[in-house]
């Protein structure tokens, strides 16, 4: 499993979560505006779609799709567990994890 597509799936879940009023109030202490809600939803779906294409580019569509579903599951479970106990950390990782994964991926290449 590649680290950068996994980080993008995690970021996608964070963006989709922050587009929901309940979670945004808990994490940001305010509700997002309708425009922010639409942008967060779009960013979440774009991050999930890009992670699918990266996983498929790495191992081919048959294996890449299966790997992507595994990444979706693993990132969703880790995000939900973090969201339950430390919501701000869970949201913060959504921003920091892709940056760190990109640095590790491109530095080791």
Residue 105 has pLDDT above 80, yes or no: no
- Structural domain range at position 63: 3-108
- Give the Cα separation of 28 and 32 in Å (integer): 9
- Write the Ramachandran bin of 31: left for phi over 0, alpha for psi from -120 to 50, otherwise beta: beta
- Give the Cα separation of 106 and 28 in Å (integer): 32
Closest by CA to 96, choosing from 1, 6, 7, 3, is 7
Task: List pLDDT tens digits, range 21-57.
Answer: 999 999 989 999 999 999 999 999 999 999 999 999 9
Total domains in the chain come to 1
């Amino acid at each position: 499993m590649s680290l950068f597509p996994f980080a993008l799936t995690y970021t996608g879940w964070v963006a989709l979560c922050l587009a929901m009023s309940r979670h945004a109030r808990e994490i940001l202490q305010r509700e997002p505006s309708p425009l922010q809600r639409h942008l967060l939803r779009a960013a979440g779906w774009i991050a999930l779609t890009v992670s699918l294409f990266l996983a498929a580019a790495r191992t081919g569509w048959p294996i890449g799709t299966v790997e992507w579903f595994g990444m979706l599951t693993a990132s969703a479970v880790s995000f939900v567990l973090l969201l339950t106990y430390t919501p701000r950390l869970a949201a913060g990782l959504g921003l920091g994890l892709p940056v760190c994964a990109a640095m590790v991926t491109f530095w080791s290449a």
